[in-house]
Structure 1
Amino acid sequence: MATISIFGKGNMAQALKARYEEAGNTVNLIGREADATLGDIVILAVPYPAVDGIVATYKDALAGKIVVDITNPLNFETFDELVVPADGSAAAEIAKALPNTNVLKAFNTNFAASLASKKVADAADTTVLVAGDDAGAKEAFTAALDGSGLAVVDAGSLKRARELEATGFLQLVLAVGEKISWTGGFGLYK
């Protein structure tokens, strides 16, 4: 099993902690402290604007780790656009800032409630889409969720983070506009 460090202590962090622990992993949640020990897999369960501070504080400690970006880089003032280049993604920006890590994009198309219940709208099993360039990192990520009750599907290279972020953005807009519930979202049927 893996050691998982989750930056953040909110709903997403709590739901992820429960799923990873259910799968037999050791998990620690990290708040604003600047001296935390990091596990094999490090999850950024914080608003996108908080990522720069984490990278600046922990850049050396993150070297060699699997870093999972779950952010949706929204303009929270207008709620009408993503704040990353149209041909890029938050995950790509993080990968540039952390060249000695294996950055994955995952969980941003899942709501905390669907991670907690393992169901989307009480209908579909919750599926985690993961994008990244390192096959070994994706295998370790998937293995750490084995036994969690979540399905994992490889969405391709880190370039696919752009589409995952657009999907996450759309899902958030629908939920905020009360078109779907926070227990709803997108399901994947095979």
Structure 2
Amino acid sequence: MKIAVLGTGGGARAHIARLAELGHDVHVGTRDPHATLARTEPDMMGTEPFKDFLAEHPGIELHTFGDAAAASDGLVINGIDGHNAVAALSAIADQLAGKTLIDYAVPYVYRHESEHPWPTPWGVMPKLDPCDTDSLGEQIQRALPRTKVVKSFVTQEQTTVVDPKTIGGGDHTMFVAGADTGAKQQVTDLLRSYGWNDILDLGPLVRSRGMEMYAHMHSAIGFALGGHFGLKIAR
């Protein structure tokens, strides 16, 4: 299957490598392929230059966002940072029309002013915007009415999303939310190919608000444990 991954950060790379391993034809999107390939220094998260990643994964194609989305058979993974996602995706609305877009972005705002900042090992914790009365997933769906948006992957590190057995033998829960039943089934099928057994459909896309707001709790638990972990829903 031809699958597009939009973004070149650490999370996107986890999906790119795993999808290629599973035999998919992966098309990667970035704002400016020439600029992306010209970078020689790690990014703000310490991730190696993308050209080094490509050298280790022959056969992966790098395009603009629009060309990558157009190349997909119908499934696109959004790895664009939350602050820029709506604008970047709106610009390629025609290429995304009729396709399923899996959104795992968190609507973080970095370097914000806070009366009571939350210090973390890597700086002040970003704030969520939107929050409570809206979600990034819903904003993307409103901007892309011809696209089937499914919120998923967002409650876990992407390295664990693509290989759940690295935590607790895979005995934890992944969530999906969206308006289109068929699109959610596509995402469920992909998750099962990644190795997920417990997948909980939360219902309509409005419930992506809960998934996005969970990001702060996930960070708090991660800081307490000092590493990655899984979330299991006991019924």
- Tell me if 1:93 matches 2:139: yes
Structure 1: gaps (5+ residues): none
The answer as to whether partners of 2:170 and 2:196 remain within 8 angstroms in 1 is: no
- Tell me if 1:143 matches 2:189: yes
Q: String of CA shifts for 1:51-98, please: whole Å, max 9, x gaps.
A: 133223311111111111101112323526310142211000001100
- Tell me if 1:160 matches 2:207: yes
TM-score (norm. length: structure 2): 0.70
Task: Compare CA radii of gyration and give the structure with the larger one.
Answer: 2
Q: String of CA shifts for 1:8-36, please: whole Å, max 9, x gaps.
A: 12221122234434544332221224342
The answer as to whether partners of 1:132 and 1:157 remain within 8 angstroms in 2 is: yes
Paired amino acid for 2:25 = T
Number of equivalenced pairs: 187
Which structure's relative contact order is higher, taking Cα pairs within 8 Å and 6+ residues apart? 1
Q: Percent identity?
A: 27
Partner residue in 1 for 2:67: 36
What is the deviation of 1:181? Answer: 3.5
Partner residue in 2 for 1:108: 154
Paired amino acid for 1:5 = A
Range 88-97 or range 134-143, more displaced:
134-143
SS at 1:114 equivalent:
helix
| Cα distance in 2 for residues equivalent to 1:182 and 1:161 | 25
What is the deviation of 1:159? Answer: 1.3
Partner residue in 2 for 1:52: 86
Cα gap change, 1:30/1:92 in structure 2, threshold over 3 Å: closer, same or farther?
same
Structure 2: gaps (5+ residues): 33-63, 113-124
| Cα distance in 2 for residues equivalent to 1:70 and 1:144 | 14
Partner residue in 2 for 1:27: 26
Cα gap change, 1:85/1:163 in structure 2, threshold over 3 Å: closer, same or farther?
closer
Paired amino acid for 2:202 = A
The answer as to whether partners of 2:5 and 2:68 remain within 8 angstroms in 1 is: no
Larger helix fraction of residues: 2
The answer as to whether partners of 1:171 and 1:185 remain within 8 angstroms in 2 is: no
Paired amino acid for 2:212 = E
